[in-house]
Amino acid sequence: MLDVGKWPVFALLPPEELRLIRQACVFGSAANEALYVTVNDEVFALGTNCSGCLGLGDLQSTIEPRRIDVLCGKKIVSLSYGTGPHVVIATADGEVFAWGHNGYSQLGNGTTNHGLTPAQVSTNLLNKRVTEVACGSHHTIALTTDGEVFAWGYNNSGQVGSGSTANQPTPRRVSSCLQNKVVVNIACGQLCSMAVLDNGEVRILTVGNVCPPPVLSCPPLSCPPPVLSCPVLSSSVLSSCPPPRLSCPPVLSCPPRLSCPVCRMVEVASCHTSHTSAAKTQSGQVLMWGQCRGQAVACPHLTHFASTEDVFACFATPAVTWHLLTVDGDDYLTVAQSLKREFDSPDISDLKFLVDGKCIHVHKALLKIRYLRLGLQRQVNSHLLTNQISSFDNSWGGIRTWAACGNDAKQTQVVSFLGLGQRVRPKWNHHTEPP
């Protein structure tokens, strides 16, 4: 179960407020700023509000959540942040909003004035539908439904792909190294940008006209143990990565492999504000490596965590989230609430009772558990309950249900039934009524 309460910035929120959170992001130089979206699609922020990064219209810090009215109802689908920090989101309608630090025009509004409230990024994007955004230290890139990439902001290493090292004040389509290419995923390090193509290639945005963009591809099985020249490589996230050298031709060593004797990796997580990385295997095991609470973990270390998010909550410094967390409403259901929710579900039940012409769908396992809990002497066996008892006499009260055992109607047991709120007595299908 994903518990956002593991991040200290949420420690003062009452349990009833935590249960309403459906999306959350923790960021900032000390993981002291956070935004979250509730089940009602309201957006709140709290924290130190450095450079107005909370989007509240002022520079005042707040220990209690304050609502960001302009974002309520927008349905955030992607969120990223820089180290300024600046914050950029994409909505379900394909709009892009940005606010916070803007010293290098990373907000894409053509100025270097900090943005205290979320403002739509419109230049060259009004007729585009953006599905994903990613932020480096002081630059931003966006991916559209057409597979195009737009970039803006700090550009000292050519990370916006404009062909120069001049800062880019407004969104500009990256065309040089992505010409006639369809991009399906984007990611940023502190001073670099990456794009994953539909054919699986990964392109790094570099200074144009110096050397062709390097292409990263999966090494063959015979590839020797590589020497890692970049601390983190991931198709979804690339963090803490220095800008590529611009000598021609570029030399990129084979990416390192994380090996597991029986499992394959299905998720890799990293963040440019910390030097912590994590991975999740197909079987659900979570590994971590890098800087973990001041300790240098050189090789992937197996943890007891259930998700990569837990690694960042407990071992990253600062304890930020590496992406926008999405919390399933079921995550906060107790065992009793989960059982109640599925009590009369025809999809997962393996037994049904017909009461006054209506079916009640239940589970044999729960009946057995309840039966044993009452301390009845006779052990429940596989033929205690029939697949369906055809009809019931609902004339007497209570919560007790009768069932026939085996082929002999004289062999009867009383089974206590969960959750009905009434007692029902069957009209036995056998010729003899039980005593």
Query: Which tens digit of pLDDT belongs to each residue from 343-375?
Result: 777 878 888 888 888 888 888 887 777 666 555
Confidence of residue 409 (pLDDT cuts 50, 70, 90): very low
Phi, psi of 314 (to 5 degrees): -105, -25
Does 112 have pLDDT greater than 50? yes
Q: How far apart are CA 222 and CA 200, in angstroms?
A: 20
Nearest alpha-carbon partner for 49 in 84, 17, 25: 84
The predicted model scores a pTM of: 0.66
Token pair for 65: 């959540």
| Residue 375: per-residue pLDDT | 54
Phi, psi of 50 (to 5 degrees): -60, 130
Instruction: Work out the burial of residue 337: count CB atoms within 10 Å of its CB; fewer than 13 is exposed, 13-18 middle, 19 or more buried.
Output: exposed
Does 377 have pLDDT greater than 50? no
Computed over every residue of the chain, the mean pLDDT equals 76
Nearest alpha-carbon partner for 228 in 287, 289, 157: 289
Domain coordinates of the chain in residue numbers? 4-332, 335-426
Does 78 have pLDDT greater than 70? yes
> Residues 80, 74: contact at Cβ < 8 Å?
no
Bond into 171 cis (ω within 30): no
SS3 313: helix
Does 425 have pLDDT greater than 60? no
- The residue-averaged pLDDT of 236-263 equals 42
Whole-number Cα distances in Å, 238 to 163, 193, 313, 422, 427? 21, 8, 19, 59, 67
Task: Give the CATH fold of the 4-332 domain.
Answer: Methylamine Dehydrogenase; Chain H (2.130.10)
Does 378 have pLDDT greater than 80? no
CA dihedral 266, 308, 147, 248 (to 10 degrees): -90
Please give the share of the chain, as a percent, with pLDDT higher than 70.
68
| Residue 332: per-residue pLDDT | 52
Does 391 have pLDDT greater than 90? no
The CB density around residue 426, as the number of other CB atoms within 10 Å, is 19
- The residue-averaged pLDDT of 65-74 equals 97
